A and B are shown apart, each in its own frame.
Chain A
Amino acid sequence: MLDKYKLAAIGILGVSVAAVSGTTLASSEASDYPSGNIKALVAAGAGGGTDNFTRQVQPMLEKRLDTTVTVIDLPTASGAIAHQRTANNAPDGQTLDFASSTLITSLAAGQNPTGLDQLTPVARMQSDVMTLIVNPDKYENFQEFYDYAKNNPGEVVIGGTAAASPDKMAFLGFKDASGLEMNFIPYDEEGSVSSNVLSGNIDGMFGEISSILGYMESGKMKPILVFADKRLEDFPDIPTTVEKGWDLTDGNERGVFVNADTPEKTVAAIESALKDIYESDKYQDYASKVHLDYREGWMGSDAYRKELKADLKQYKRLLKNE
């Protein structure tokens, strides 16, 4: 009897050993990644933040994975084509989708049919902080802006890029939290937004500090509110949304996505390659050069997915209440 059990035990052991060796075999297959050239699709236009990010990562990725990485810009339809192509291409991790938060905002607005069930977030590498930016000739600080907007409902006009962009979501979130009545005008290009703020034709815009440093130096623009829980180390004088009592943090993020059917091992292989790149001095040099180091950028696959899902829910709610 005992022997029978023993035999059974040995049998189970044998099967499990075989299974384990099987998985190790599978994992050695995954370490073959990549088996060919990699396509890096940019879900944004040439010269923008996401494009620059991709082109910075490209040579590092080539070196790390010992393959060729081709960068293709697909800016139309807020990058929706890049997401769709990633979801339709073979799930071998050789089509990478370099995207910003616009992926989620356009998904919430119904402009992008490729959802998080078709794409797997591999990693987040950049996290910028949204700020409310005004012309200091109009408003000296946030209090002034708030008082004016409160006393003149519907008079304040905020500009941003595109109708379903991170700027728009920041606007909606801010409007929702503060209860202020304001209008939003979407422009085609960031340049048009900033020129309208400079000329005083509109009251303000939502954007990142990194893109307006030059105007801050010359006193033509000023960030007056940071969408974060604590003040930025480099700008300790700017109040935050959370200290004003609003449950609201926001910022444009950039990361890498793959087809949702991609094997977990492959996703892990890409994630670890990106992590190495993120931690390299060369990448950090670039991040500090473009002022993307105010906050930790890195976030692994699982955490990033959770965060994106929460964002999507929030944006959908905001758009519904608009």
Chain B
Amino acid sequence: MLDGLMNGFSVVLQPMNFLILLSAVFIGFIGGALPGISGVILVVILLPVTYGMDSTTAFMLLTAIYASTVFSGLITAILYRAPGTPEAVMTSFDGYPMTQRGEAGKALGIGILSSAIGGLVGTIALIVFAPMLASVALKFSSPEFFALAVLGLTVVASLGGSLLLGLIGAMIGLFVASVGIDPMTGTLRYTFGNLNLAGGIQLIPIIVGMFAISEVLKRAQGNAPHTPIKKVKIRIFDMPVIRRIRLTLARSSILGVAIGTLPGIGASTAAMVSYSEAMRWSRHPKEFGKGVPEGIAAPEAANNAAAMGALVPLFALGIPGSGTTAVILGAFIMHGLQPGPSFMINNGDLIYAVFVGLLIVNLLILAFSKPFVAVLSRMLNIPYSALGPIIIICCVVGTYSVQNSMFDVWLMLGFGVMGFLLEKINFPLVAIILGVVLGPIAESEFRRSLGMSQGDPSIFFSRPISATLLCIAITVVTLAIIVPLIKYLRKRNARLGDAHQ
């Protein structure tokens, strides 16, 4: 393996290849920062360009773009609450409040560091454990995915604020996710004869609307005076902060890799589950959503680790773990390569060059993100009366470009108004997003599991992984109900006791 890696270094560090790698990082930075432009689109656009290259260079380019888009979605999520990619939506929950407090530099620093660490952990796991991780990932089938989604949803119980609002939010999310073609039977649900709804409501209009647009609407009311931030000082290596988030970083990176390797479950889900876990393990879970460093570190470490994790089944088995890796799989075939279980053995040189490329990309993110972010954050100086419309234009263009659909733009604006109104009553938007992302996984995997077992529900508890995950979920929910109940009863008894006296 070391031989292979040394070889990889010599390939990647050829001036031409290194230049391509650099430009890939830069393209990914820009694409990821624009809401709506995701890694999938960039890779598709650049695919024809790679036909002329030799396959090693081509896949270095594609995987480098993939890695850097996942990173750069965090910048606009933190600065303007406009997540550049769906993976970065969780980052805005704590990143943006920090920006509002004038701690944009600190928030960005945490985001950059967490991304790079998550990416490096993911890449190292990919290099060292790919075949092993892939065989573990195969143990996950529908019952396990269902259990994982349920466990993710239970975090609604530990969200700050009202439990009732959280539950309502999750239900709204589940409802939105149920629109479209029924994944199992093909029946049309809640489409009202509109073909645009038949495809379901996409994640991008929801996220862009609920977060970016609603924020612009809120600011337009002028209640919160805009304080132009003169200078954002990004501190990546801030020792007290690092000491605070190191456990979160370690947990989220490992969780991210693990979830990323599961076929069909992407970096967005990884970010969400890892945010939930960070909140669950935290000593002050109520602080989440108000701007805590862990709230940035958890999703960012996880989504970058998961992006690398998604390459594990692709390289080791020829199975794409996410949308972008599916496009990369298509590119392999176009380059005349044969993805499959013996791919890594047959194409060792290419694989090691790609591995080394990814390692370097994650270091480049650490090195080059600072000047790039500095340029973007300079826009904070612009008065909000000008910045707000610019954000809206970017959102409209970005949402339209996903599938050239004006319908999506209207949907996005609708979700913007909805998000704006819901936040007036302090509604936890995170609960809605949890429902939208995890709901479809829970629903269709539940039904698939029953299909696998011919309708026998014991399948969820006869398989060790799903049984464990479901038991944890049940315990969490029970505790969330019982602990407040006991507290309440104690208080009442105490009060009764007082009254007696």
Using a CB–CB cutoff of 8 Å, the interface residues on chain A facing chain B are 45-49, 51-52, 55, 59, 72-78, 80-81, 84, 109, 111, 113, 154-155, 157, 162-164, 183-189, 191-192, 194-196, 198-199, 201-202, 212-215, 217-218, 220, 286, 289-290
Give Cα A312 to B181, complex, Å. Answer: 20
Chain A minimum-CB-distance residue to B187: A163
Q: Are B342 and A214 within 8 A (Cβ)?
A: yes
What are 18 residue pairs bridging A and B, where the CB atoms are less than 8 Å apart in the complex? A47-B44, A52-B330, A52-B334, A76-B196, A77-B195, A111-B188, A163-B186, A183-B454, A184-B451, A186-B186, A191-B320, A195-B137, A199-B141, A201-B452, A214-B340, A215-B318, A215-B340, A289-B333
Name the contact of A81 in the complex, choosing from B47, B137, B196, B339 (C-beta under 8 A): B196
Q: Which residue of A lies closest to B196 (CB)?
A: A81
- In Å, the complex CA distance between A286 and B405 comes to 31
Would you call B317 and A289 a contact (CB within 8 A)? no
Given A74-B403, A80-B198, the answer on whether A290 and B451 have CB atoms closer than 8 Å is no
| B328 → A minimal CB distance (Å) | 8
A200 CB to nearest B CB, Å: 9
Of listed A185, A217, A220, A290, residue having the most chain B CB within 10 A = A185
B340 near A51 with CB under 8 A, answer: no
At the interface, yes or no: B338 with Cβ under 8 Å from chain A? yes
CB of B145 to closest CB in A, whole Å: 9
Q: For the complex, is B240 an interface residue (Cβ under 8 Å from A)?
A: no
Known: A111-B186, A191-B326. 12 other contacts (CB 8 A): A46-B41, A49-B330, A76-B202, A78-B181, A81-B403, A109-B186, A157-B451, A186-B184, A194-B319, A196-B141, A198-B319, A286-B334
- Could you tell me if B186 and A201 are in contact, using CB atoms closer than 8 angstroms? no
Interface residues of B, count at CB 8 A: 56
- Contact yes or no, B343 A214, CB < 8 A: yes
Closest-CB distance, B110 to chain A (whole angstroms): 32
Question: Of B195, B202, B454, which is within 8 A of A80 by CB?
Answer: B195
Asked whether, in the complex, the Cβ of B139 is within 8 Å of the Cβ of A199, the reply is yes
Which residues from A are CB-within-8-Å of B338? Answer: 213-214, 217
Asked whether, in the complex, the Cβ of B44 is within 8 Å of the Cβ of A73, the reply is yes
Residue in A72, A157, A214 whose Cβ sees the most chain B Cβ within 10 Å: A214
As a 0/1 sequence over residues 129 to 142 of chain B, the CB contacts with chain A under 8 angstroms (1 = contact) are 00000000111011
- Compute how far the CA of A75 lies from the CA of B180 in the bound complex, rounded to whole angstroms: 13
Per the bound structure, the CA–CA distance linking A298 and B331 in Å amounts to: 24
Assembled-state Cα–Cα distance A183/B450 (Å): 11
Which residues of the partner chain B approach A187 to less than 8 Å between Cβ atoms? 264, 448
Q: How many A-B residue pairs have CB under 8 A?
A: 150
Which of B44, B47, B196, B263 is the one whose CB lies under 8 Å from A191?
Answer: B263
Q: Which residue of the partner chain A has the closest CB to B137? A: A195
Please indicate the chain A residues that have their CB under 8 angstroms from the CB of B40 in the complex.
46-47
Q: Across the interface, do B448 and A185 meet the contact criterion of CB distance under 8 Å?
A: yes
Q: Is the CB of B403 within 8 A of A202?
A: no
Residues of chain B from 411 to 456 with CB closer than 8 A to chain A in the complex:
444, 448, 451-452, 454
Q: Is the CB–CB distance between A55 and B47 below 8 Å? A: yes
Indicate if B329 sits at the interface (CB-CB under 8 A): yes
Residue pair B334, A290 in contact (C-beta under 8 Å): yes
When C-beta atoms are compared, the residue in chain A nearest to B138 turns out to be A199
Q: A74-B403, A74-B404, A155-B454 are in contact. Are A81 and B195 (CB under 8 A)?
A: yes
Q: CB-nearest residue of chain A relative to B407?
A: A81
Chain B contacts of A51 at CB under 8 A?
44, 330
- Assembled-state Cα–Cα distance A14/B388 (Å): 71
Q: Which of B142, B183, B331, B403 is the one whose CB lies under 8 Å from A73?
A: B403
* B contact residues around A109 at 8 Å (CB): 186
Q: Mark B34-48, 1 if CB is under 8 A from A, else 0.
A: 000000110110011
Contact A202 B198, CB 8 Å, known A55-B47, A191-B326: no
Q: Contacts A183-B451, A185-B451, A290-B334: A214 and B198 contacting too (C-beta < 8 A)?
A: no
B181 touches A111 (CB 8 A): yes
- Asked if A192 and B264 make an inter-chain contact with CB atoms under 8 angstroms apart, the answer reads yes
B342 interface neighbour in A184, A191, A194, A217, Cβ under 8 Å: A217
Residues of B within 8 A of A188 (CB): 183, 264, 444
**Inter-chain contact B199/A47, CB cutoff 8 Å:** no
Q: Give the top 6 A-B pairs by smallest Cβ distance, nearest first.
A: A214-B340, A76-B199, A47-B327, A163-B186, A77-B198, A77-B199
A72 to B188 CA separation, bound complex (whole angstroms): 25
> Hey, which chain B residues are within 8 Å of A213, CB to CB?
338, 340
Is B185 close to A, CB under 8 A? yes
Contacts of B333 in A (CB 8 A): 52, 289-290
Report how far A189 CA is from B326 CA in the complex, Å. Answer: 9
Contact with A along B197-214 (1 / 0, CB 8 A): 011101000000000000
Interface membership of B182, Cβ < 8 A: yes
Q: Is the CB of A218 within 8 A of B184?
A: no
B321 contacts A by Cβ under 8 Å: yes
Q: How far is the CB of B124 from chain A (nearest CB, A)?
A: 23
Bound Cα distance from A126 to B354, whole angstroms: 33
Q: Are B319 and A154 in contact (CB under 8 A)?
A: no
Q: Which residue of B lies closest to A113 (CB)?
A: B195
Closest CB-CB distance, A75 to chain B, in whole Å?
A: 7
CA–CA, A191 and B48, complex, Å: 23
- Residue in chain A with minimal CB distance to B40: A46
Kindly identify which residue among A45, A75, A189, A217 contacts B264, using a CB–CB cutoff of 8 Å: A189
- Min CB–CB distance A108 → chain B (angstroms): 10
Judged by a CB distance under 8 angstroms, whether B341 is at the interface is: yes
Q: Are B454 and A154 in contact (CB under 8 A)?
A: yes
A109 CA to B141 CA, complexed, in Å: 28
Q: How far is the CB of B266 from chain A (nearest CB, A)?
A: 11
State the CA gap A188–B339 with chains docked (Å). 20
Taking the closest CB of chain A, its distance from the CB of B237, in whole angstroms, is 38
A186 to B182, CA, bound (A): 10
For residue B484, CB closer than 8 A to chain A, the reply is: no
Q: Which residues of B contact A49 (CB under 8 A)?
A: 330
